């Protein structure tokens, strides 16, 4: 893909602009420090990009402010005593070393118990946790997707779950393909449902324009409440490299 990049200063904000072979402009506020990066079509002029940024200044500053207030989860060593979140609920992690196939269970609504092989690495235990979260999330989606396909009147031909650095979800409207961030498994269930609905509406409308938000208001009037829940701690620790 052909790309060109440059920097703009807009209202005392430093903005990285990357021109790509795309149709629409996208503005990303990058964790952990709120750095601004704009992806713009190759034929979009610098002045048009500047005007687009100016029109979104209030949202950009709001998101940058929210980054400053974030409380991020520390990197997990997957050892007993750590706090882990599932469905928005805090659990205490307990590791039991046994020579058997790794497994995870919730005990007494207060603890997450992992049974893992002795001397397994923290990376391996983390992989076990991610797979457990992925299965839980997939089970919920198997119920949510048919429900919302009928309500919205679209078909999601494919969905996937993966760890994503800067987005809660994405949608390829042409292929009707949806990706959801695995970190949603740690958030309250309403968050997963909101992001799913958001991405499914993109099958009907690719842009965040007036039509998109009218559809979102129609099908999920409380979406703003769920969106704000996404911004509440805990947030995953990530080594952000670009």
- What Cα–Cα distance (Å) separates residue 156 from each residue in 126, 171, 178, 190? 30, 10, 7, 19
Going residue by residue through the chain, which has 242 residues, state the pLDDT in tens, using 9 for 90 and above.
566 778 888 888 888 898 888 888 999 887 656 778 899 999 999 999 999 999 999 888 888 877 665 555 667 899 999 999 999 999 999 999 999 999 999 998 899 999 999 999 999 999 999 999 999 999 999 999 999 999 999 999 899 999 987 789 999 988 999 999 999 999 999 999 999 999 999 999 988 888 988 999 999 999 988 988 887 766 554 432 22
> Where do the domains of the chain lie, and which CATH numbers do they carry?
3-69 (no CATH), 121-230 (3.30.2010.10)
Burial bucket for residue 186 (CB in 10 Å: 0-12, 13-18, 19+): buried
- At 162, which helix (H) or strand (E)? strand 158-162
Measured between alpha carbons, how far is 198 from 180 in angstroms, rounded to an integer? 11
Measured between alpha carbons, how far is 207 from 26 in angstroms, rounded to an integer? 10
Give the predicted TM-score (pTM) of the model.
0.70
**Which has the closest alpha carbon to 167: 238, 69, 85?**
238
Judged by DSSP in three states, 70 sits in coil
Q: Phi, psi (5° rounding) for residue 195?
A: -65, -40
**Which has the closest alpha carbon to 100: 118, 78, 79?**
118
Q: Phi, psi (5° rounding) for residue 115?
A: -100, 115
Which residues, in sequence order, are bridge partners of residue 169? 180
Judged by DSSP in three states, 55 sits in helix
Judged by DSSP in three states, 209 sits in coil
Whether cis (ω within 30° of 0) applies to the bond prior to 93 is no
């Amino acid at each position: 893909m052909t790309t060109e990049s440059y920097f703009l200063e807009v209202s005392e904000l430093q903005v990285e602009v990357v021109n790509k072979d795309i149709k629409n402009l996208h503005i990303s506020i990058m964790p952990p420090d709120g750095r601004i990066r704009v992806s713009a079509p190759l034929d979009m002029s610098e002045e048009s990009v500047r005007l687009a940024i100016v029109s979104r200044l209030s949202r950009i500053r709001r998101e940058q402010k929210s980054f400053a207030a974030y409380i991020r989860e520390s990197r997990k060593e997957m050892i007993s005593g750590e706090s882990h979140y599932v469905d928005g609920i805090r659990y205490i992690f307990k590791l039991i070393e046994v020579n058997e196939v790794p497994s995870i269970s919730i005990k007494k609504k207060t603890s997450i118990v992992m049974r893992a092989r002795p001397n397994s690495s923290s990376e391996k235990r983390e992989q076990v946790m991610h797979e457990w979260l992925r299965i839980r999330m997939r089970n919920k989606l198997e119920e949510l997707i048919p429900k919302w396909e009928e309500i919205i009147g679209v078909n999601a031909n494919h969905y996937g779950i993966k760890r994503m650095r800067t987005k809660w979800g994405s949608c390829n409207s042409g292929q009707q393909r949806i990706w959801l961030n695995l970190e949603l498994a740690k958030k309250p269930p309403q968050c997963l449902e909101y992001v799913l609905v958001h991405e499914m509406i993109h099958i009907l409308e690719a842009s965040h324009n007036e039509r998109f938000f009218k559809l979102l208001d129609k099908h999920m009037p409380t979406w703003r409440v769920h969106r704000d829940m996404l911004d509440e701690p805990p947030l995953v620790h990530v080594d952000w490299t670009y």
